[in-house]
């Protein structure tokens, strides 16, 4: 199973019951598709960079989980259909980046000096 993270933005004026129902729905989708939810965080209400669906603020949620591509498709489908969700984005998490050693480049000889010598011999 691959690891993913999803951030979704809910409408800011939702009550606690609506928010609890929304987060339970997300967790239910993950567990029903044989995924494993490792973290669900409520980041609170924040100002949006630009208005989305006539909202200037939104309530951010962060979900970290393991699953497969079918799980992502179903989760995004359900978030798209829910009117309480303004935006969402899912990202596949990679392993730690491998450190690649930098190859030293050989110094380039003066190309203009060689070209000047060639052009002088042609004349």
Q: The domain that contains 9 carries what CATH number?
A: 3.30.70.60
For position 58, what pLDDT does the model report? Answer: 93
- pLDDT of 81 strictly over 90: yes
Is the model more confident about 64 or about 94?
64
Domain extent, residue 72, equals 2-92
Please, what is the Cα angle at 91 between 12 and 70, to 5 degrees?
100
Cα 40 to the center of its chain, rounded Å: 15
- Least confident residue range of 27-31, 44-48, 96-100, 108-112: 96-100
Q: Is residue 112 part of a domain?
A: no
* Number of domains the chain contains: 1
pLDDT band at 1 (very low <50, low <70, confident <90, very high): confident
Residues 6+ apart with CB under 8 A from 75: 6, 26, 29, 30, 33, 90
Q: Is residue 54 part of a domain?
A: yes
Q: Is residue 31 part of a domain?
A: yes
- pLDDT of 123 strictly over 60: no
């Amino acid at each position: 199973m691959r690891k993913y993270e999803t951030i979704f933005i809910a409408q800011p004026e939702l009550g606690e019951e609506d928010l609890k129902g929304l987060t339970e729905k997300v967790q239910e989708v993950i567990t029903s598709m044989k995924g494993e939810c490792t973290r669900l965080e409520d980041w609170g209400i924040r100002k949006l960079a630009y208005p989305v669906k006539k909202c200037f603020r939104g309530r951010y949620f962060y979900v970290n989980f393991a699953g497969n591509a079918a799980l992502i498709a179903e989760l995004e489908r359900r978030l798209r259909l829910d009117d309480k969700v303004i935006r969402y984005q899912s990202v596949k998490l990679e392993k730690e980046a491998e450190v690649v050693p930098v190859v030293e480049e050989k110094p380039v000889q003066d190309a203009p000096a060689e070209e000047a010598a060639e052009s002088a011999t042609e004349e």
